[in-house]
A and B are shown apart, each in its own frame.
Chain A
Amino acid sequence: MNKFLSNKYAFLGKEQKANTALTNKMRGALKNSTWQFLIFGALICVIGYLAVNKVIPYSLQSGIATTLAYSIAAIGFCLLMGYSGLASLGTGGFIGIGTYSVYYIMNESNMSFAIAIIVALLVSVVIGIIVGFISLRIEGIYLCILTLGLSEILRNLYMALEDTIKISNFEIFGMLVKRQSSIYIVAVVLVVIMIITQNLINSPTGRAMLAMKNSTAAAQAMGISLIKYRLLAFVICTAYAAISGVMLMVCMRAATASDGTGFYALITSLNILAAVIIGGYKSIWGAVFGTYIMYGLQTTLLNRIEVLQENPVIITFVSGVLVILVVMFYPGGIAQLIWELKGKLKKLFTKLKEVRYGKDLG
């Protein structure tokens, strides 16, 4: 009898153990950044599915798709600024590489989407290498202005080539991509980009870039090649911006170069810069969240409030105030804010514990 009981309890214990092991595994998965990114992508796909089937309003989906497309550029910028300590204001021009590759390859030459992406990447690598070489000679604010000039060259080039570009529905792997379903592609590409970036940051390459950011002289003394990593940082940033352009074209289907608030204008570069600063310039999640504030908040959330619907300029005004407040009081961005809140909550919990159980003297 006794033996039986113990056996029974042993079985129970095993089940319990298995249960805790499972929850531990799930907790581990939630802490693992790759899984976080995958879950995020899945959530986006669910939102897209609901929007396509008209459960939630369509404007929500298009706002999110735009945010995701821009946040690819923001993540590239994050890597450039937060990890390599370089800044560029060329994002607008670099986004154009993607949109025009899509237009010329798919619409004019009738080739596939994959080729468009490859061409966009190749062109952006060349441009990135050029900017990287320039960055070896010029630094800081001057580099910002120079990349701004480069972006203007590209914008004038686009205006001279073809001012307004449009694409129609296209096929990927035999599936027709309509404008409504573009969010799936953007979500997949964004998750892939996030995973690649996270691994890059944690690799020796990321550490070398961080060393370079803190002191170029010290990094060189430690045997880090300045040319190699600066070029790499700019190539990645430019390539991400180009992919972001491809995705914007997939979402929006049209672009105008001479538009003062369009994709390639100075305001885009500044918005991406602001997004990365607001979100926290060392965090991928921060970049995505900052981009949401700059691009998605208005279309997805604030437009539903009636007062703001009538006066959309109030949103512009408030976002400006918000940007200034974040920069002045939280230079680390929202990532820093959340980090500090976490610390405060932890302190609060330990205090509560002390009140309940007495002070831990051990």
Chain B
Amino acid sequence: MAYFLNTIMGSIAPMCVTALVTLAITLIFKTSYTTNFAQGVISAFGAYMVAYFLNQKGLPIWASLPIGMIVSMVIATLIDVLIFRRGRYVNALGKQIITMGLISIIVGAIPLIFGIAVPQFTAFIDGTLSAEIFDGSVTVTKNALVCGGITIVVIVAIFVALRFSKWGLSVRATASNEYVAGMMGINTHIVTAVSWGLAGALGALAAAINASSGNTVGIYFMTNYQVYAFLAGILGGFSSFYGPVVVALMIPLANNLVQYFVNIAGAPEMTKWSMVIVYAVALVIIFFKPQGIFGKRIAKKV
């Protein structure tokens, strides 16, 4: 039982990262009508930015994280204003290619701006908590708990804003139909730009959490989470905001649980197949529920 709880505690950080990235991708998907393949590298850019303030300017992580998030937010907004807004009438595939071009631009820009050295990252807070429960001790790093706290606060704040604020209403209106929302007096340009800005900030936060829990920062170090996020998006159904986030919390957990059960069953060499199993189950679910677990059925017009 203690082992089981430890498995869950170990999944806190990846769950936070996936949930934040998924929320960012969902926001862009709903307002710009495209899958943002550049989210992974935009997030990595945020991590480099936070690391820059951390290492070069000598700020503590509590100060450098918000500054890094704000800078990423500005840059993501600029991406929308300068590039994406002009390409909004390109067809769906064309938009995907634009985000793909963004990947190349950012991948090229990161070494030009920050140099090629691997940035060092510190945890938000050091130390571990452990408790004696059932038949063993359950250990969790304080850093994971802090990350979990930040993530919950941020996600709840965004959902509350989406549900109750005027901005949330305009986002939901733009998501359901951009043209009509525009006709009703909503400035869809601003809605899209703010979504991109939020996505940049969320990406930076996600990357910082990922880096603070011990992963090496690199240009492609968020791409895996981006793929999880896409999968969570269609598994949860892009038609709602909460569906993808709920599924995003489940994917890393499922991965670790598969490893747990495989270990329990006495086949530790099978743990490397865990992601294959999770993906396969996800694809089977999508095959039988194409609109997603939480999605509404969309009638197709001829």
- A residues near B (Cβ < 8 Å) are 81, 87, 134, 137-138, 140-142, 144-146, 148-150, 152-153, 156-157, 159-160, 217, 260-261, 265-267, 270, 273-274, 277, 311, 313-324, 327-328, 331
Given contacts A141-B35, A277-B93, contact A261 B283 (CB under 8 A): no
Residue ranges of B at the interface with A (Cβ–Cβ < 8 Å): 34-35, 37, 83, 86-87, 90-94, 96-98, 100-109, 111-112, 218, 220, 223, 227, 230-231, 233-234, 238, 272-273, 275-276, 279-280, 282-283, 286-287, 290, 302
If A160-B272, A160-B273, A320-B101 touch, does A146 touch B94 (CB 8 Å cutoff)? no
The listed residue (A81, A156, A159, A317) touching B105 by CB distance below 8 A is: A317
The residue that A324 contacts in the complex, of B98, B230, B238, with Cβ under 8 A, is B98
Q: Are B96 and A316 in contact (CB under 8 A)?
A: no
14 contacts between A and B (CB under 8 A): A87-B93, A142-B234, A145-B230, A146-B283, A149-B231, A149-B282, A152-B231, A313-B109, A317-B112, A320-B108, A322-B101, A323-B100, A324-B87, A328-B98
- Nearest chain-B residue to A142 (Cβ)? B234
Check if A260 sits within 8 Å of B234, measured CB to CB: no
**Contact among B34, B87, B102, B227 with A328 in the assembled complex (CB-CB below 8 Å):** B87
Known: A274-B101, A323-B104, A324-B102. A145 touches B272 (CB 8 A): no
Residues of chain B within 8 A of A142, CB atoms compared: 234, 238, 290
Query: Once the chains are docked, how many angstroms separate the CA of A137 from the CA of B86?
Result: 32
Selected contact of B94 from candidates A148, A260, A277, A315, CB within 8 Å: A277
Inside 8 A of B283's CB, which chain A residues have their CB?
134, 146, 149-150, 153
Which of chain A's residues has its CB closest to B106's CB? A320
Contact across chains for A316 and B94 when beta carbons are under 8 A apart: no
Question: How far, in angstroms, from A140 to B107 measured CA to CA in the complex?
Answer: 27
- Beyond contacts A141-B35, A327-B90: 8 other A-B pairs, Cβ-Cβ < 8 A, are A150-B279, A316-B104, A320-B105, A320-B108, A323-B98, A323-B104, A327-B94, A327-B97
Complex Cα gap A256–B95 (Å): 30
Indicate if the CB atoms of B279 and A81 lie closer than 8 Å. Answer: no
Measured CB to CB, the closest approach of chain A to B89, in angstroms, equals 10
* B223 in contact with A153 (CB, 8 Å): no
Do B86 and A328 touch across chains, with their CB atoms under 8 A apart? yes
Pair B104/A153 contact, Cβ less than 8 Å: no
Residues in B with CB closer than 8 Å to A322 are 101
What is the minimal beta-carbon distance from B204 to any residue of chain A, in angstroms? 20
| Set of chain B residues within 8 Å of A144, measured between Cβ atoms | 35, 96
Q: How far is the CA of A122 from the CA of B101 in the complex (A)?
A: 34
Nearest CB on B from A292, distance (A): 16
Contact, CB under 8 Å: A327 / B108: no
The answer to whether B108 touches A81, judged by C-beta atoms less than 8 angstroms apart, is: no
Q: CB distance A321 to B105 under 8 Å?
A: yes
- Give the residue of A150, A260, A277 whose beta carbon is less than 8 angstroms from that of B223: A260
Please judge, given known A-B contacts A160-B273, A277-B97, whether A317 and B35 are in contact too, CB under 8 Å: no
